[in-house]
Structure formats: C-alpha cells, structure tokens
Amino acid sequence: MNCKDQDVFSGGLLILFALPGYFCAAQIENLKVSKLSGAFFPDVCFTVMLVCGLILIRQGLQREEKIPLPSINWPKLLPVVGVLIAYVLIMEYVGFIISTMAFMLCCMYAFGVRRKKILLSVPIITAFGVYYLFGKAFMIVLPGLSDLGMFQ
C-alpha cells in the first residue's frame, strides 16, 4: 500500500510522539502540594495528541482523493533540528529560561524573522511566561537560574 497522504502521515507522527511522551511524563517527580500528579497535564497533552493523530489517520484513509506530502525545505529544517538538539543538551547547564530564549531566537531567525523588536521580545516573554505557568499553575519544576546557583 503506497500511502503518501499528508493526513495519514501527520497523524502517524503525532502518535509516534505521543506514545513515548507518556513514558517520559510518568517519570516526572511529584510534589506533595497538589492532589494532581506532575504528569497530569503532560498526560492530557499527549492524550490530545494521540486522539488528533487517530482522527487525522481516519480522515486520510476515508478520503478518496489523497493530498500529497509537501516537499521538505531542507535548508530551513536542518538548522532547526540542530538547534533543537542543542536546546535539549544545554538546558541542564543553563536552565530553561536561557536555553528557551536562545532556541526561539535561532528558530525565528532560521524561518526569516528579522525585526529586532520581535526577535528580542517574543523569546523573553514566552520563556518567562511558560516558566511561570508551569511553576505556578501546573506545579512542574523546570530547571531555572536558581538551580544553577545564580540569583539565589
């Protein structure tokens, strides 16, 4: 079966990322300040990914006219993959906020954003916003500056 429908492919990728996500979320350390485990919100996200993946696959298989996969823009994809790998590797050493700002800045630049206001403000606001959201609302501890011995 030569299946090159973009919905089937995209749905399969979502499922491929969701399944190991459950495993990783199960290893999140629980804090004793809430009735919810630290893995609750990641599990919700991975469940949504799994359901969306199954819906995409179903729609792709039911459609008579297949939508072909778009061509891959390798000059933009490869630097982003490299930056993503670096992001994962350096987060433990420089913390979530700094690594996330650097990751977003590099990705935005790779995808053509050149306005300095945007390149500086969006990564800063997003990194601090996500750090605060996870720390306060979800009670998931992300590596931060205080974990590195800075700003204690």
Q: Is the pLDDT assigned to residue 119 strictly greater than 90?
A: yes
Distance CA 135, CA 144 (A): 10
pLDDT tens track for 86-107: 999 998 889 899 999 999 999 9
149 pLDDT band, cuts 50/70/90, is: very low
Q: Could you report the per-residue pLDDT of 37-91, keeping only the tens digit for each?
A: 777 888 899 999 999 999 999 999 998 888 888 888 888 889 899 999 999 999 8
When pLDDT is averaged across residues 3-25 and rounded to a whole number, the result is: 88
Q: Is 28 left (phi over 0), alpha (psi -120 to 50) or beta?
A: beta
- pLDDT band at 31; cut points 50, 70, 90: low
pLDDT value, residue 40:
81
pTM: 0.66
More confident residue, 32 or 61: 61
Mean residue pLDDT of the chain comes to 85
| 74-110 helix and 116-132 helix, angle to the nearest 10 degrees | 80
- Cβ(89)–Cβ(67) below 8 Å: no
Please give the average per-residue pLDDT across 137-149, as a whole number. Answer: 65
